[in-house]
């Protein structure tokens, strides 16, 4: 096993609650081994063995290890001084999507909050390219955001507050599996890390740091969503909040952020896309001036519904490589959507 990776995991484990210091050490010595050697007495003799076991367990559970020097590491998060040295990732989602937005809120959400969460995601799905939807897989607004992303053909990332071998809450086991098909699970915590409340507060900085903007759909005056919104503000990200009635404590946090001018009021879904300059594609323009080959693909999807790459290539009688290239162009232009299980639809 590569020595540099083992040392990096050992550092990350030893400084999991002080990522700023770990990163300073890593940058000062220019290598994980150099940084580890400078603090190995403090970390203990067994730290390298524990790191090796963590790597083996991550692979056993289907998680890859993305290091801060890896091109797959979230570029936006890397800008933050307290970014973790490593992330454990399960799924094939691109963490460096050209557009990324976090949608968060209370676990005890109301129908009003969930309704507007769904409407916001549905509106965002009109953008081309569609943004990456990031949240924390908690019950309530987080789960609603993930499900809405999946239903609207968007990739979604669930940032976990537990180790990679623990799905929390347990009731979201099925949701976590769906997310892995059209997005990914992400955590900085190694195996066996339980659902400590403090860990969920810490993971919120990853949710905020990975995004261009954070939308708070519903929150009381105190809660994880408020922490994420304030972190996003500190990271110079755009912050939006869905307003509620003055006498509704479920929206006290949202109203407070708007009052303090920390967040922009979401008076309609267009406020978000207009502010971020993410213009939704005009439906009338989606299929104009397509090539004959792209026309064949669109006709196939109109007639047969969701199809995978091989099925499309067989139907239009074009080489699979050529169809793959055309589908990428069509996805960028907003003519097709890449769905779960590697299927496509209009």
- For 303, the token pair is 């007639």
Give mean pLDDT, residues 59-86. 95
R_g of the chain computed on alpha carbons: 21
- For 220, the token pair is 């009381």
pLDDT for 118-149, tens place per residue?
999 999 999 988 999 999 999 999 999 999 99
Give mean pLDDT, residues 229-241. 97
Task: Assess contact for 228 and 196: CB atoms under 8 A.
Answer: no
pLDDT for 92-116, tens place per residue?
899 999 999 999 999 999 999 999 9
Task: Assess contact for 178 and 66: CB atoms under 8 A.
Answer: no
Q: Which of 94, 138, 102 is nearest to 120 (CA)?
A: 102
What beta strand segments (E) does 138-290 contain?
156-159, 183-187, 213-218, 238-241, 264-265
Distance, C-alpha 84 to centroid of its chain: 15
- For 44, the token pair is 């203990």
pLDDT band at 301 (very low <50, low <70, confident <90, very high): confident
Domain range list for the chain: 3-91, 100-276, 284-345
Vertex 75, ends 214 and 121: CA angle to 5°? 30
Task: Assess contact for 141 and 52: CB atoms under 8 A.
Answer: no
pLDDT band at 62 (very low <50, low <70, confident <90, very high): very high
pLDDT for 265-299, tens place per residue?
999 999 999 999 997 765 545 555 678 888 889 88
Cα separation of 89 and 157, whole Å?
Answer: 10
Q: Give whole-number Cα distances, 202 to 118, 159, 246, 247, in Å.
A: 26, 11, 30, 30
DSSP state of 279: P
The second-level CATH assignment, the architecture, of 100-276 is 3-Layer(aba) Sandwich (3.40)
Give mean pLDDT, residues 44-58. 94
Q: Is 160 a residue whose pLDDT tops 80? A: yes
DSSP state of 188: S
For residue 11, how many other CB atoms are within 10 A of its CB? 28
Give mean pLDDT, residues 144-160. 96
Q: Which of 29, 189, 221, 184 is nearest to 91 (CA)?
A: 184
What integer pLDDT is reported at residue 284 of this predicted model? 46
pLDDT for 207-222, tens place per residue?
999 999 999 999 999 9
How far is the first Cα of the chain from the last one, in angstroms, to the nearest whole number?
Answer: 45
What integer pLDDT is reported at residue 98 of this predicted model? 93
Vertex 314, ends 308 and 315: CA angle to 5°? 90
Task: Assess contact for 283 and 322: CB atoms under 8 A.
Answer: no
**Please, what is the angle between helix 141-151 and helix 173-181, to 10°?**
40
CATH class in words for 284-345: mainly alpha
What integer pLDDT is reported at residue 306 of this predicted model? 82
Cα separation of 146 and 229, whole Å?
Answer: 18
Is the full-model pTM beyond 0.85? no
Cα separation of 106 and 62, whole Å?
Answer: 30
Question: Cα-flanking dihedrals φ and ψ of residue 82, to 5°?
Answer: -100, 25
pLDDT for 172-191, tens place per residue?
999 999 999 889 999 999 99
DSSP state of 204: H
Q: Is 192 a residue whose pLDDT tops 70? A: yes
Q: Is 7 a residue whose pLDDT tops 80? A: yes
For residue 266, how many other CB atoms are within 10 A of its CB? 22
Question: Cα-flanking dihedrals φ and ψ of residue 110, to 5°?
Answer: -95, 170
Beta bridge partners, 265, equal 241
Give mean pLDDT, residues 332-346. 78
């Amino acid at each position: 096993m590569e020595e540099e990776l083992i040392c990096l995991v050992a550092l990350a484990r030893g400084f999991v609650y002080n990522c700023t210091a770990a990163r300073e050490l890593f940058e000062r010595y220019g290598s994980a081994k150099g940084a580890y050697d400078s603090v190995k007495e403090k970390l203990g003799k067994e730290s390298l063995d524990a790191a090796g076991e963590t790597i083996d367990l991550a692979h056993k559970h289907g998680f890859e290890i993305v290091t801060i020097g890896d091109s797959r590491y979230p570029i936006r998060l890397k800008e933050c001084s307290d970014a973790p040295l490593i992330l454990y990732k399960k799924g094939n989602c691109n963490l460096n999507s050209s557009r990324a937005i976090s949608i968060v809120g209370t676990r005890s959400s109301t129908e009003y909050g969930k309704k507007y969460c769904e409407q916001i995601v549905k509106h965002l799905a009109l953008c081309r390219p569609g943004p990456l939807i990031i949240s924390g897989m908690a019950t309530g607004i987080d789960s609603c955001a993930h499900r809405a992303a999946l239903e609207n053909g968007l990739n979604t990332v669930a940032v976990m507050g537990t180790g990679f071998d623990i799905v929390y809450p347990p009731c979201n086991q099925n949701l976590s599996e769906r997310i892995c098909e059209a997005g990914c699970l992400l955590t900085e915590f190694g195996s066996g890390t339980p659902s400590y409340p403090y860990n969920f507060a810490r993971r919120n900085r990853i949710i905020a740091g990975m995004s261009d903007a954070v939308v708070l759909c519903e929150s009381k005056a105190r809660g994880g969503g408020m922490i994420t919104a304030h972190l996003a503000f500190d990271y110079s990200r755009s912050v939006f909040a869905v307003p509620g009635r003055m006498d509704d404590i479920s929206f006290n946090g949202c109203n407070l952020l708007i009052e303090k001018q920390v967040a922009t009021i979401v008076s309609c879904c267009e406020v978000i896309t207009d502010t971020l300059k993410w213009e939704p594609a005009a439906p009338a323009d989606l299929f104009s001036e397509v090539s004959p080959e792209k026309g064949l693909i669109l006709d196939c999807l109109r007639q047969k519904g969701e199809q995978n790459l091989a099925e499309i290539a067989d139907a239009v009688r074009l080489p699979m490589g050529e169809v793959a290239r055309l589908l990428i162009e069509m996805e960028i232009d907003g003519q097709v959507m890449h769905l779960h299980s590697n299927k496509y639809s209009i």
